[in-house]
Amino acid sequence: MSKYIIEGGKKLAGEIAVSGAKNSVLPILAATVLNNDINTVFNVPDISDLKVMIKILRAVGCKVDRVDNIVTVDSRTLNTVRIPEELVREMRSSIILMGAMLARCQEVEVSYPGGCEIGPRPIDFHLKALKELGAEIEESHGFIYCKGNNLKGADIQLDYPSVGATENIMLAAIKAKGTTIIRNAAKEPEIIDLQNYLNAMGGKIYGAGTSIIRIDGVDHLNSVEHTIIPDRIVAGTYMVASGITGGEVVLKNIEVDHIQSIIAKLREAGCLIYNNCTTLKIIGPKIISPIESLQTIPYPGFPTDMQAQVMSLLTIANGTSIISETIFENRFKHVPELVRMGANIKTVGNVAVIKGVSQLTGAKVTAKDLRGGACLLLAGLAAKGTTIVDNIYHIDRGYEKLEENLTSIGANIRRIE
């Protein structure tokens, strides 16, 4: 297994360009099967989840070419509705193909998805919504069989603003007869990016970024070119890297509006942050202030995908911080690993109480999931001595050239295969 070796205590300084958004590119690549045509996608991050999605697209017959950060998908050659089980189990986001395949082929066969073990992420919302559009769904032996010969627009009320369910409905309803309304829709920037992609393809979708999205079904979709938005979680992770090391880092290729909740909490911790629309400078404090209360909630609230990284910062704050995780029930798996490094953290249910210590110390720790792995890497940047982070394949799922970027701004980090 690959691992990171980190020598802590280096103050970071320099510039990093933020890559395209993982949580945007995956549903957009799933959408390439819709148009039976050519799709060109720019600003695609070089991450392992993206590689799995490309394998899936090739497995169902699409022709996929990648040159640097540009991916071209020719979906005219799609020839099967069965998505390989071994690939679905590698990546939970693959479930997003259900809606797109239903719209294109009127049927799909997929196994239950895999991915990070951060607690139950039921796909009940997805299946319930697809049924409301007219899909017939059978579940047996770990597989889901969907048929939808005559999908029709529906008025769908989501019990929870699920990002994946919102995306699956958009993909399935784009060619359904009539109008679909999604109420209590997810508002994340990635939803807006998907809408922009689908509309450039010829879709008629309105309201992304609000709680109500309208989809007017169309008969034909055309070829499309699209540029993926910057990754707000990658940006936030580098912001914490600057904060935890007392650094001075400039981030380029960002959307400041997408990271306002992260900016607010890091300012609360004492970071100085200056920005325009696409560039941000963050200066870490000499003394990190505790955050009295941080609660993860759906966008535009503080993202669950940044909870672990900010926790690493608060382990060396001058006081006590409280984090409430309301999205996923098992998203504190990084806590025992931080404790191995000298952190003082107690958890009760979905609440973590972090009493700041003066210094973390290097230790051998293990990444249990994507963002928890990033958290341990950040802790290692600030710790005294050497930190070894195992199982970094989790980190590779969401970060492009992480060690190269951090090394370029002064970190002492190397990768051992």
* Active-site residue list: 116
d(C-alpha 90, C-alpha 366), whole Å: 19
Instruction: Please check if 333 is assigned to a binding site.
Output: no
Instruction: Please check if 92 is assigned to a binding site.
Output: yes
Three-state secondary structure readout of the chain: CCEEEEECCCCCEEEEECCECHHHHHHHHHHCCCCCCEEEEECCCCCHHHHHHHHHHHHCCCEEEEECCEEEEEHHHCCCCECCHHHHCCCHHHHHHHHHHHHHHCEEEEECCCCCCCCCCCCHHHHHHHHHCCCEEEEECCEEEEECCCCECCEEECCCCCHHHHHHHHHHHCCCECEEEEECCCCCHHHHHHHHHHHHCCCEEECECECEEEEECCCCCCCEEEECCECHHHHHHHHHHHHHHCCEEEEECCCHHHHHHHHHHHHHCCCEEEECCCEEEEECCCCCCCCCCEEECCCCCECHHHHHHHHHHHCCCCCEEEEEECCCCCCCCCHHHHHHCCCEEEEECCEEEEECCCCCECCEEECCCHHHHHHHHHHHHHCECEEEEECCHHHHCCCCCHHHHHHHCCCEEEEEC
Q: What letter represents residue 239's amino acid?
A: M
d(C-alpha 219, C-alpha 27), whole Å: 21
Instruction: Please check if 305 is assigned to a binding site.
Output: yes
Asked if 50 contacts 20 with a C-beta cutoff of 8 angstroms, the reply is: no
∠ CA 123-219-178, rounded to 5°: 65
**Residue count of the chain:** 417
CA-CA-CA-CA torsion sign (87, 89, 93, 97): positive
∠ CA 342-346-352, rounded to 5°: 110
Q: Which residues are part of a known binding site for phosphoenolpyruvate?
A: 22-23
Q: Which residues are part of a known binding site for UDP-N-acetyl-alpha-D-glucosamine?
A: 92, 305, 327
Q: Which residues are part of a known binding site?
A: 22-23, 92, 305, 327
